Amino acid sequence: MTASNPLKPSERMKIPRQEPLEQDPQERSTNFLEVSFGFDMDRTLVEAQRCLDCKTPYCIDGCPVGIDIPGFIRLVLEKDYVGAVRKIREANYLPAICGRVCPQETQCEEVCVLAKKLTPVAIGKLERFVADYEMREKLFEAPVIKEHRDEKVAIVGSGPAGLTCAAELAQKGYRVTIFEALHATGGVLRYGIPEFRLPKEILDLETERIKALRVEIYTNFVIGRTATIDELFDEWGFSAIFLATGAGTPTFMGIPGENLSGVYSANEFLTRVNLMGAYRFPDTDTPIRIGKEVAVIGGGNTAMDAVRTAKRLGAEKAYLIYRRSRQEMPARQEEIHHAEQEGIQLLLLTNPTRIIGDAHNWVSAIECQRMELGEPDESGRRKPVPVKGSEFVLEVQTIVEAIGQKPNPIIQSTTPGLTTSKRGTVVTDEMQKTSRPGIFAGGDLARGGATVILAMRDGKQASVAIHTYLADKRAAQLPSHL
Amino acid sequence: MFRIVRTDVLAPTVTRFEIEAPFIARKRKAGNFVMVRLDNQGERIPLTLADSNPASGTITLIVQAVGKTTKQLCAMKAGDSILDVVGPLGTPTPIAMHGTVVCVGGGVGTAELYPIARALKEAGNTVLSIVGARSHDLVILEPEMKAISDALYVTTDDGSYGKKGFVTDQLKDLLDTVPGIGAVFAIGPLPMMKAVSTLTRPYNVHTLVSLNTIMVDGTGMCGGCRVTINGAMKFACVDGPEFDGHSVDFDELMMRNRTYADLERVSDQKHACRLAGTTQESLR
């Protein structure tokens, strides 16, 4: 028993994990409204009681940004929801986003003590509830900035890494400017993650909260083109720069037929829908083409987003083609589950070999071959090997390739002295420092394709490193007799 | 917001805009383009930068009203604002000393050619220019091109002005009669650039073309602009938009560019209806 939870641990362990409210699968597969409604207040209070408030809270170690999870849950039990979200915000400035898109099942919830024998506390859904509560009740107050500093810091990219780094540095009193290449902020949260998983309204509100910290945001500004990194230092007077431009360049499989009309990269497909609102065409001006039968290639979250989007755009059959088995799929379990509920057909151990076009150069089918799993490869996963003579043809009119992205090369190619890897990522040390003093990098630009929360972790780490770097610089500039 | 400070009608469907965009104006080089989005419902379209004035902080775009967005843009006036303009994008034209160069512009492509021809002239080249259009009223930038060319040839398909025929007829004349042509720069509709590239190939003259493709972001993100160059996949927005004309798979690109033809008509017609609707409402 604790002050906030009158139940004994044995009693807490008898409470079943609460299930979130969700839109009916049939209905939601035809609209872009949010799939999960999360917890209501009753479920939140019941679920919070399940937390054992462990002496050694493994969940905090499981969280890439180290949120005081038992601490915020205690506040939930006291019905101090705003206190709870403020507790989260001490470690993570974007709780409404993390509560929706974080893979809790492989982070905080995976290491929850209850997960060993029972089911873990639904930490993500609790986080989401308190964030949404604060939003709904309009109780947000920007943290007070205690000390203002003169140094200007530039953040390149307004995705999860950039927004987090901006929020952290602004709270430390720096003058922060974000440069965003697109016309709207959010990076992959805007162009990549669909409305039905992360409503744009939530993203807009979180962005407003960054602005409330007096962060300046330039959209329509491509660093490397509109101004270079060296110009930011020499002409704009920035003292440090955090690069967080993500992994925005699509890769293609390299099979015949990829340039036929009707073949999209996942980036193009999702950008048309999410950023440009093509699902409302012709009320919006950006079109998208969706066949009766659509195949999405890949097994990650992006592939899941694309195939579920295709279904919502009216595809009668939406296939997901993945060369390994379900076990190896990098997508979140929850997303795979949701996709199957919505009628997505998974074609596992299947690999496309060529795309077939019609007389007008339009996609008409995709040829695939069956695969079987062989020895583990360098990723530790069993390598898929083609089954001889297993080729078959699937009729489709739209194909989306979601086989991974790599970093955009514009900054690397216009910034002398910035070391990059063979994969095109910017090389950093564990503090997110790059090969050039004063330049830091993180998120997918440094990782090559990871999760929103790891990007946030990098943004936070970089903010600490930038703070240290600038403090050292300040100290070095002091006259030596002081 | 990006304010339009001046408009000039150059031809019945072609308008020149001067737009406040100081950051872009400072950095523009020949061959660069911008992505433009007019309003919140708008699509992002690529438009080549025809010129810029760093002192006044303005850029120049020359736009032909062909689809929904370009028609909407061409109806805008000085004082109006465009929601989003981003750039300068793309790899600038490599400007070198070739000796004698031929610059070939077809239709509104002449607007994209002009800054390149001017840069080539400033680099010390002898610039021979060919400007082609369907008819006299569609010939644009003749005085501007004349001012920076050592010789200017005008062709029209219908013979209503200059020499009757295609730009390739004039180009063939030059290739056959002028010694030492070091390079050809051709910008215009894809069939024209294809014809120019086919013509110059046996002469072994380096030929640069500027590809207009489907684009969403214009920064290398969507891959919609992918083109096949010498059998390899390239992105027009970052690797181009200019490529060696002898290496471009024009037929594939022409087919790709038709992907949304029918939907573009839907959008265009809806826009026309909306304009008509507004007029009726205002009459009530």
Q: Which of B49, B217, B227, B254 to mutate to test the interface with A (most CBs of A within 10 A)?
A: B217
Q: Does residue B284 surpass a pLDDT of 60?
A: no
Residues belonging to chain B with any Cβ–Cβ distance to chain A shorter than 8 Å: 23-24, 27, 37, 41-44, 68-69, 83-89, 216-217, 219-224, 226, 228, 233, 238, 252, 255-256, 258-260, 263-264, 266-267, 270
**Inter-chain residue contact B88 with A226, CB threshold 8 Å:** yes
* Residue B110 or residue B268, greater confidence: B110
How much of chain B, in percent, has pLDDT values that exceed 70?
A: 96
The contacts of residue A225 (CB under 8 Å, 6+ apart) are: A410, A414, B27, B87, B88, B89, B219
**Inter-chain residue contact A221 with B222, CB threshold 8 Å:** no
Q: Does residue B283 surpass a pLDDT of 70?
A: no
Residues belonging to chain A with any Cβ–Cβ distance to chain B shorter than 8 Å: 181-183, 191, 219-222, 225-227, 248-250, 252, 258-259, 261-262, 264-265, 267-268, 271-272, 275-277, 281-287, 289, 360-361, 408-410
Q: What is the pLDDT of residue B258?
A: 87
Distance from the A458 Cα atom to the nearest Cα atom in chain B, whole angstroms: 22
Question: Which residues on A lie below 8 Å from B238 (Cβ)?
Answer: 409-410
pLDDT along chain A (482 residues), means of 10: 78 94 92 94 96 94 95 96 96 94 92 93 96 95 91 97 97 97 96 95 94 96 97 96 95 95 96 95 93 97 96 96 93 91 96 95 96 88 92 97 93 94 94 96 93 94 96 80 50
Interval B113-142: pLDDT, tens = 999 999 999 999 999 999 999 999 999 999
Q: Does residue B192 surpass a pLDDT of 80?
A: yes
Q: What is the pLDDT of residue B280?
A: 41
Q: What is the pLDDT of residue A422?
A: 92
Q: Give dist(CA A317, CA A402) in Å, integer.
A: 18
**Inter-chain residue contact A289 with B264, CB threshold 8 Å:** no
Q: What is the pLDDT of residue A477?
A: 80
Q: How many domains does chain B have?
A: 1
**Inter-chain residue contact B27 with A225, CB threshold 8 Å:** yes
Q: What is the pLDDT of residue A1?
A: 53
| Inside any domain, residue B2 | no
Distance from the B1 Cα atom to the nearest Cα atom in chain A, whole angstroms: 10
> Which of A182, A225, A259 faces B217 most closely, judged by CB atoms?
A182
| Inside any domain, residue B270 | no
Q: Give dist(CA B104, CA B96) in Å, integer.
A: 17
**Inter-chain residue contact A285 with B68, CB threshold 8 Å:** yes
Residue with tokens 């090997």: A385
Phi and psi, residue B31, nearest 5°:
100, -15
> Which of A182, A265, A283 faces B223 most closely, judged by CB atoms?
A265
Interval B221-261: pLDDT, tens = 999 999 999 999 999 999 999 999 999 999 999 999 988 88
| Inside any domain, residue B27 | no
Question: H or E element: which one contains B283?
Answer: helix B261-283
Q: Which of A217, A225, A253, A269 to mutate to test the interface with B (most CBs of B within 10 A)?
A: A225
Neighbours of A24 (CB within 10 A): 9
| Inside any domain, residue B133 | yes
What pairing do the DSSP bridges indicate for beta strands B126-133 and B58-64? Answer: unpaired
| Inside any domain, residue B13 | no
> Which of A220, A271, A409 faces B216 most closely, judged by CB atoms?
A271
| Inside any domain, residue B182 | yes
Distance from the A260 Cα atom to the nearest Cα atom in chain B, whole angstroms: 7
Q: What is the pLDDT of residue B262?
A: 84
The pLDDT-based confidence of B275 (bands split at 50, 70, 90) is low
> What residue numbers bound the domain in which B245 lies?
104-257
Interval B55-95: pLDDT, tens = 999 999 999 999 899 999 999 999 999 999 999 999 999 99
Looking up residue B123, the CATH number of its domain turns out to be 3.40.50.80
Q: Does residue B263 surpass a pLDDT of 90?
A: no
Distance from the A156 Cα atom to the nearest Cα atom in chain B, whole angstroms: 14
Q: Which of A190, A69, A201, A195 is nearest to A132 (CA)?
A: A201
Question: Which residues on A lie below 8 Å from B85 (Cβ)?
Answer: 220
| Inside any domain, residue B180 | yes
Question: Which residues on A lie below 8 Å from B42 (Cβ)?
Answer: 284-285
Neighbours of B276 (CB within 10 A): 10
| Inside any domain, residue B166 | yes
